[in-house]
């Protein structure tokens, strides 16, 4: 806009167009072929160095037609298996048609899941500046919302969506839920049994807290193990092990089986690997009649649940995984 360029004195405005007027983020002319070539070459450079993909910050800010299509072509030429994920907070069909991104950060799933696992524990003051639709959700409403989200995309997209409970751009779940560990545990169970690519934000597995402003959820990892919640870490480890052991949890089909005010049950199936995931967000134990579940032999694979007089009984604020034997 004018000279001399002011890139370093933050007490004065930048003398050029900058994203959110941040001096260190000058706006580029993405319609300029030389700018495009430079950005594409940077992407190629790091792929050749061995990175596995690109997470794109607010990619919707670049509105030049064909820019992200060109980016994808250049990335996939270097590594066809490279992962391209965009930070899009809303429904993202436009970006996921196979010509731009492989996936987006699945904040729509995040929103629905937080409402189910945190419920009335949700500290709404921490998300006033975030596009969350905060409303305690029943098991039935959560199931309906998950089916809506699943219907948005082709199955190949769903299986690589970046699913997350929190991130560097929002408060951590344990803080949002007012330090309720059961909300974190329920969230982790859903995260690691749902279709997609689960993303565990560093420190969540050891009980790190962090709210607003953003700096509080971006604090350094505490490496002093005496401050870790080791029981929570073991809980996460048991779920990641379960996911590795069962291909159905990674790429198997998903079918809603049952839901009510507090309980949710869904089925993940891949060939003979057939699993049933059950959760209860109530503050008291809940029962599910065997008649509402698959007509097959069911056995406990993970978690605490009992079969009593033809009813499966889940403890309060908990979940379990059953093996379905046909």
Out of 37, 57, 133, 261, the active site residue is 57
Catalytic, 304? Answer no
- Contact 117/186 with Cβ under 8 angstroms? yes
Helical pair 107-118 and 181-191, crossing angle rounded to 10 deg? 140
- Burial environment of residue 228 by CB neighbours within 10 A (0 to 12, 13 to 18, 19 or more): middle
User: Six-digit token pair at 25?
Assistant: 């983020």
How many Å apart are CA 189 and CA 303, to the nearest integer? Answer: 10
List residues bridging with 55 in a β-sheet: 85
Q: 3-state SS of 247-289?
A: CHHHHCEEEEEEECCCEEEEEEEECCEEEEEEEECCCCCEEEE
How many Å apart are CA 92 and CA 234, to the nearest integer? Answer: 34
Out of 44, 52, 87, 180, the active site residue is 87
Catalytic, 57? Answer yes
Closest CA to 92 of 101, 79, 81: 101
Q: Which residues are catalytic?
A: 57, 87
């Amino acid at each position: 806009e004018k000279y001399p360029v002011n890139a370093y004195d933050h007490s004065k405005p930048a003398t050029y167009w900058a994203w959110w007027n941040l001096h260190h983020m000058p706006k580029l002319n993405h319609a300029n072929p030389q700018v495009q070539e430079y950005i594409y070459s940077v992407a190629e450079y790091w792929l050749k160095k061995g990175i596995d993909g690109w997470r794109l910050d607010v990619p919707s800010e670049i509105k030049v037609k064909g820019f992200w299509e060109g980016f994808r072509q250049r990335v996939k030429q270097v590594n066809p298996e490279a992962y391209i994920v965009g930070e899009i907070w809303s429904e993202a069909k436009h970006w996921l048609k196979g010509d731009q991104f492989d996936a987006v950060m699945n904040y729509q799933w995040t929103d629905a899941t937080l409402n189910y696992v945190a419920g009335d524990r949700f500290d709404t003051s921490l998300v006033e500046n975030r596009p969350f639709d905060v409303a305690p959700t029943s098991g039935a409403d959560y199931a309906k919302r998950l089916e809506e989200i699943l219907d948005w995309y082709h199955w190949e997209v769903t299986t690589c969506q970046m699913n997350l409970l929190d991130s560097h751009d929002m408060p951590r779940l344990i803080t949002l839920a007012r330090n309720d560990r059961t909300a974190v545990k329920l969230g982790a169970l859903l995260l690691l049994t749902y279709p997609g690519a689960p993303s565990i934000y560093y420190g969540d597995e050891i009980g790190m807290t962090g709210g607003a402003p953003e700096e509080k959820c971006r604090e350094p990892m505490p490496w002093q193990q005496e401050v870790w919640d080791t029981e929570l870490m073991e809980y996460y480890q048991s779920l990641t092990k379960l996911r590795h052991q069962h291909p159905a949890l990674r790429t198997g089909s998903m079918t809603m089986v049952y839901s009510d005010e507090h309980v949710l049950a869904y089925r993940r199936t891949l060939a003979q690997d057939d699993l049933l995931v059950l959760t209860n967000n109530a503050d008291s134990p809940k029962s599910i009649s065997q008649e509402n579940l698959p007509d097959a032999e069911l056995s406990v694979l993970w978690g605490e649940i009992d079969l009593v007089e033809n009813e499966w009984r889940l403890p309060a604020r908990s979940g379990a995984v059953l093996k379905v034997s046909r």
